[in-house]
Amino acid sequence: MKKGAILCVQRARFFFYFFEEGEWKRKEKTPLEKFLLLKKAGPDDIRALKDALSRRLERIAQMVEILTSAHDDWAITTKKDYILLETETLDFTEAVKLLNAHGFTNDDFVLRCEYRRKWGMM
């Protein structure tokens, strides 16, 4: 279908969760869930969680940097456990290609695209 005949508006929504990296798909526990299951957390457990979080947040920062450098129309929302980047002006397939080209995989982000009618049709 030609671009001019696109009858919907796509909203690409990239969720970058602070505490998970696709563990749910492998039915594994996230570092935070493992930490919360500990009966008696010691300094090493806390440091391990810090390292996991630090690494995860750094990866999120890199992904946000890649996306915002490539395209400036992003609505950015921060929540207690994730950061959300949304755009209606860049196709999600383009954004995913960019992230993949920099070594990020489908475990690094959650994509939920949303469509709506382009004009007042039935």
* Residues engaged in binding another protein (CB under 8 A): 1-2, 5-8, 10-11, 13, 15, 22, 24-25, 71-77, 84, 86-89, 91-93, 96, 100, 105-107, 109-117, 119-122
To another protein, the closest distance from the beta carbon of 56 in angstroms equals 16
Q: Which is nearer to another protein, 38 or 68 (CB)?
A: 68
| CA–CA dist 110, 13 (Å, integer) | 8
CA 117 to chain centre: 25
Between 46 and 76, CB nearer to another protein? 76
Q: In what order do the strands lie in the sheet with 82-87?
A: 75-78, 82-87, 8-17, 110-117
CB of 118 to another protein, least distance (A): 8
